[in-house]
Copies of this chain bind each other. A is one copy, B any other.
Amino acid sequence: MSKNKIVKPSTLPGFMELLPEEQILMNFMRDTIRKNYEKFGFVPIDTPVIEKSEILFAKGGGDTEKQIFEIKRDKNDQALRFDLTVPLAKYVALNASHLTFPFKRYQIGKVFRGERNQKGRFREFYQCDIDIIGNEVLDIANDAQIPSIIYSTFKDLGFDKFTIRINNRKLLNGFFEYLEIEDKAMVLRTVDKIEKIGADKVKEELMNEGVLESKCDEILNFINIKGTNEEILKGLTNLNIENENFNIGLNELDEVCKYIDAFGVPASNYQIDLTIARGLDYYTGTVYETILDEYKNIGSVCSGGRYDNLAGYYTKQKLPGVGISIGLTRLFYQLREAKILKDPTTKTLTKVLVVPMDEDKKYSIEVASKLREAGIISQVYFDSGKLKKKLNYANKLGIKYVIIIGEEEKETGILTLKDMEYSNEFKLCVGDIIEKIK
């Protein structure tokens, strides 16, 4: 092999590849998300990474199409999925007759987007999605359950201070209908800047866009409704806006808030926020964002909402749904950058390293097997060398316990257990070691 030309090893830019100690943390996060999704009764699906282009782009065009990773192979036009929503729509349309509705599925998998190369932007990243899909109808109480799943998940991820922001698109749309504003997107975009640039600037920009001053005031008045959720709901009611969509939306928001309490989400962790809108042409009812209170600049770490029809491009069956997505790769990256993720104290999952002191490793192997049978992750150090080198291996990996096995230990069955953290030693039999470690 030494005669080969050496290819310099590298990983493509924009692709996350972690060291094992980081990967252990990442997996902990992924497992935590999965466990929470399952706890609420969602079932797994695992659609292919590669799909037909006609499926991926049934909706047509847009930025996503420019970011696509196309496959050069076969006659079929194929590409890598850019989200898990389009594959879900295809899946439900394809398998509808085998599914039981409401269909509650989760999917955790990699998606691909040819983002411009810049720090914190990934071209391959994990999305962790849940959706509840109804057949023709889907009760509003489902919208109230979503925040409880977000709450439970982020609590388990170790966060206390986070806010699930909730709004309703019907309420927003109705409000704009009432004001007879056509370019809702522009208004939403402008209003979205209020935290950054302040109310006056927002008004100025709106007027520059041709919105009448009286309407600007009504808009600012609307998004200035603040307070507890109850106060906001009351404030919205007091606007006395005569518009059907507005009032349906208000009613939905009211229902959602009523049930969120029952789901056990503390009032401090959710908040009606009239400025959030999410994807403009997709969501049609409740929308969610989740903000880490102490790291607001990270932006939303979990977003989603209610939509009228999941799979209109693939089936005539009407499939309303509600769902959220956690962009895990980006979240992990941001938590690490913000030093919220603690540096790993261990590079391993191993609890015990068994170190044989002579050539006969049998006894050491048996000890490690017994520990594993008791559920303690253990490995034997097989390479020859001095004790110092062997202990160094445990130290480098952060393995907490080392068991040293020489002639005497084999004869007596009394083993030396070294606690590497506190560097003290115990003389114990295997059974007692298991007891002690557990």
Interface residues of chain A, those whose CB is within 8 Å of chain B, are: 1-2, 4, 6-12, 15-21, 23-24, 26-27, 38-41, 43-52, 54-55, 58, 68-74, 76, 78, 80, 90-91, 93-95, 98-100, 102, 104-105, 110, 112, 114, 123-124, 134, 137-139, 141-142, 144-145, 148, 152, 258-259, 261-264, 308-309, 311-316, 347-350, 361-363, 365-366, 369, 372, 377-380, 382-384, 393, 396-397
Interface core residue of A50, A91, A105 (most chain B CB under 10 Å): A50
Q: B11–A48 contact, CB under 8 A?
A: yes
| Cβ A4 vs Cβ B365 within 8 A | no
Q: Is the CB of A11 within 8 A of B47?
A: yes
Contact of A142 among B258, B311, B382 (CB under 8 A): B382
Known A-B contacts A41-B349, A377-B41; A49 and B18 likewise in contact (beta carbons under 8 Å)? no
> Which chain B residue shows the least CB distance to A76?
B12
B141 touches A365 (CB 8 A): yes
Q: Are A309 and B78 interface neighbours, CB within 8 A? A: no
Check A43 against B23 for contact (C-beta < 8 Å). Answer: yes
Q: Check if B48 sits within 8 Å of A12, measured CB to CB.
A: yes
CB pair B70 A72 closer than 8 Å: yes
A384→B137 CA distance, assembly (Å): 10
Chain B residues with Cβ below 8 Å from A348 are 41, 43
The answer to whether A43 and B9 touch (CB under 8 A), given A48-B124, A112-B50, A263-B365, is no
Complex Cα distance, B38 from A257, in Å, reads 43
Contacts of A309 in B (CB 8 A): 1
A293 to B68 alpha-carbon distance, docked (Å): 46
Whether A383 pairs with B137 at a CB distance below 8 angstroms is yes
* Distance in angstroms between the alpha carbons of A4 and B312 in the assembled complex: 7
Q: A261 — which chain B residues lie within 8 A by C-beta?
A: 362
Q: In the complex, what residue of chain B is closest to A136 when comparing beta carbons?
A: B383
The smallest beta-carbon distance between A313 and chain B, in angstroms, is 6
- In the complex, residue of chain B having the shortest beta-carbon distance to the beta carbon of A348: B43
Q: How far is the CA of A4 from the CA of B316 in the complex (A)?
A: 10
A379 surroundings in chain B (CB, below 8 A): 40-41, 104
**Do B19 and A382 have beta carbons less than 8 Å apart?**
no
Indicate if the CB atoms of B39 and A313 lie closer than 8 Å. no
List 18 extra interface pairs beyond A9-B55, A24-B43, A69-B71, CB under 8 A: A4-B313, A6-B315, A10-B94, A12-B78, A16-B48, A17-B91, A20-B99, A20-B105, A21-B43, A27-B44, A41-B348, A41-B350, A41-B377, A100-B347, A102-B382, A139-B382, A142-B382, A145-B365
